[in-house]
Amino acid sequence: MPATIIVGAQWGDEGKGKIVDMLSDEIDIVARYQGGANAGHTVVIGDKEYVLHLIPSGIFHKHVACVIGNGVVIDPVALMDEIAMIKSFGIKIDGRLFISHNAHLIMPYHKMLDAIREKGAVKIGTTGRGIGPAYIDKYMRTGIRVVDLLNRKTLSDKLKANIEEKNQILSKIYGGVEIDVDKIIAEYQEFDKLIDPFITDTTLYLNNALKKKKRILAEGAQGALLDVDHGTYPFVTSSSPTSGGACTGLGIPPTAINRIIGIVKAYSTRVGNGPFPTELQDATGEKLRAIGGEYGATTGRPRRCGWLDMVSLEYSVMVNGISEIALTKLDVLDEFDEIAVCTGYTVDDKPLKSFSSNVATLDAVKPVYKKFKGWKENITGIRKYKKLPAATIKYIEAIEKLSGTRISLVSVGARRDQTIVR
């Protein structure tokens, strides 16, 4: 059975957690392929809300195996908290959680460096989870991986070399604090004891599962416009949330993928800095934030809100090869008299032919809007597409037409069951 990729099509927080959990009913393995505890994926079951940062959003289905792939950067503190949280709800993870031996570890100094760098000239508005500095070490080939926990001497040698360098950077360049090697070794060995049973060659595990025709769902974190290559650089995260990242981040071949579902929020949000052409810094933006509960699931920061941007969505569909869209949070628009969708950009009154991820260009663009009549009806209880108000259907089908992509799922509430499958 080929694999499906779930990718955030905007700037993250599109509702990936909800859709992954909902689709997990018919899935055998859910595998996270990049990012780290910068992600916050919310799953709502009944009246309980769970926020996952590292553990795949399929964990609430007993039959689903969950993989944290080699492309993920793991913060032991966050993972230990998350494992404890999952267990406290009576959910068994033994035999169901598989952590790649090649995944890199976030170290305390990565978080320090992340915080200090944000005091510099370019403020990305990171989540402060040490993501950028951890990926720097990965690509510098000095990173510490899960497999290094297995040997005390290797761990100690690698840590000492890293800490010596980081201490110099922190004290000489940033005038920051020095780091205690022995304390870190002790902490990471405690962590090793906890995750030891879960450490796996997940590449082999996933490829064997593919051979056995298991159904795999690759869960992306963040979103396409935060991709380090294809996003609004430098206001991006340090990994590849786009669909291509699923293959490198899990070690499965592109030929194994047959379905790429783009998660698209019915409007736009962005947390952190960087261009956002359709941002609404007015009462309408505040209304979207209030109704949509647009506050970061990881940091609690208010999310910047605006209308749906079809120019960037078209780009996202192209870069990811999105084969179908899950449109989320449509119910948030229930109370709006009028809903706008950005269908083009102009720069100096001239139309821009296509999306540009260049920050200067995006800062200069003016969105061109097409207006839609609001449906002014509560749609959260609707489960059949044809039962949706005519104005809602018009909005959905306009997005379909503008993106050239079928909308196969419509989400009308945070709960699992609040979904319309077309």
Element of type H or E holding 286? helix 283-292
Q: What is residue 279's DSSP assignment?
A: B
* Residue 237 binding ligand IMO, by CB under 6 A: yes
For ligand IMO, the binding residues in 216-235 under the rule CB under 6 A are 221-223, 226
Of the residues 3, 5, 6, 8, which one makes contact with ligand GDP according to CB under 6 A: 8
CB neighbour burial string for 3-31, b if at least 16 within 10 angstroms, e if fewer: bbbbbbbbbbbbbbbbbbbbbbeebbbbb
249 binds ligand IMO (CB under 6 A): no
226 binds, among ligand IMO, Mg ion, ligand GDP, none (CB under 5 to 8 A by kind): ligand IMO
User: Whole-number minimum distance, CB 173 to ligand IMO, in Å?
Assistant: 19
244 binds, among ligand GDP, Mg ion, ligand IMO, none (CB under 5 to 8 A by kind): none
Q: CA-CA distance, 283 to 294, in Å (whole number)? A: 14
> Which position among 41, 104, 110, 230 bears the catalytic label?
41
Is residue 344 within the footprint of ligand IMO (CB under 6 A)?
A: no
> Which listed range, 45-53, 87-95, 297-305, 314-322, lies at the site for Mg ion (CB under 5 A)?
297-305
Cα diameter, the chain: 66
DSSP state letters, 105-152: E--HHHHHHHHHHTTSSS-----SSSHHHHHHHHHHT---BGGGGG-H
Does position 17 interact with ligand GDP (CB under 6 A)? The reply is yes
> Binding string, 123-162, against ligand IMO, x = CB under 6 A?
-xxxx-x-xx------------------------------
From candidates 74, 257, 297, 325, binder to Mg ion by CB under 5 A: 297
The reply on whether position 270 binds ligand GDP by CB under 6 A is: no
Judged by CB under 5 A, the number of residues near Mg ion is: 3
Q: Is 182 an annotated catalytic residue?
A: no
CB 353 within 8 A of CB 321: no
Q: Residue 316 interacts with ligand GDP (CB under 6 A)?
A: no
Question: Which two three-digit tokens encode residue 18?
Answer: 């909800």
Binding residue for ligand GDP, selected from 4, 34, 38, 42, defined by CB under 6 A? 42
Verify binding: residue 331, Mg ion, rule CB under 5 A: no
Please, which of residues 331-350 interact with ligand GDP by CB under 6 A?
Answer: 331-332
Q: How far is CA 273 from CA 31, 286, 320, in A?
A: 29, 18, 23
- Bridge partners of 345, per DSSP, are 352, 367
Q: Phi and psi of 72, rounded to 5°?
A: -85, 145
Length of the chain: 422
Closer CB to Mg ion, 10 or 278, in the complex: 10
* Residue 155 CA: distances (Å) to CA of 71, 145, 181: 20, 9, 11
Which of 260, 259, 270, 281 is CA-nearest to residue 312? 270
Give the binding range for ligand GDP (CB under 6 A) out of 7-15, 24-32, 107-115, 347-355: 7-15
| Residue 13 a catalytic site member | yes
In the complex, residue closest to ligand IMO by CB:
272
What is the per-residue binding string for ligand GDP in 373-392, x denoting contact by CB under 6 A? --------------------
* CA atoms of 72 and 114, how far apart (whole Å): 17
Phi-psi category of residue 228: left, alpha or beta, with phi > 0 → left and psi -120 to 50 → alpha: alpha
Give the interface with ligand IMO as residue ranges (CB under 6 A).
8, 11-13, 38-41, 124-127, 129, 131-132, 221-223, 226, 237-238, 271-272, 297
Give the interface with ligand GDP as residue ranges (CB under 6 A).
8, 12-18, 40-42, 44, 293, 297, 328-329, 331-332, 411-414
Q: What amino acid positions are annotated as catalytic residues?
A: 13, 41
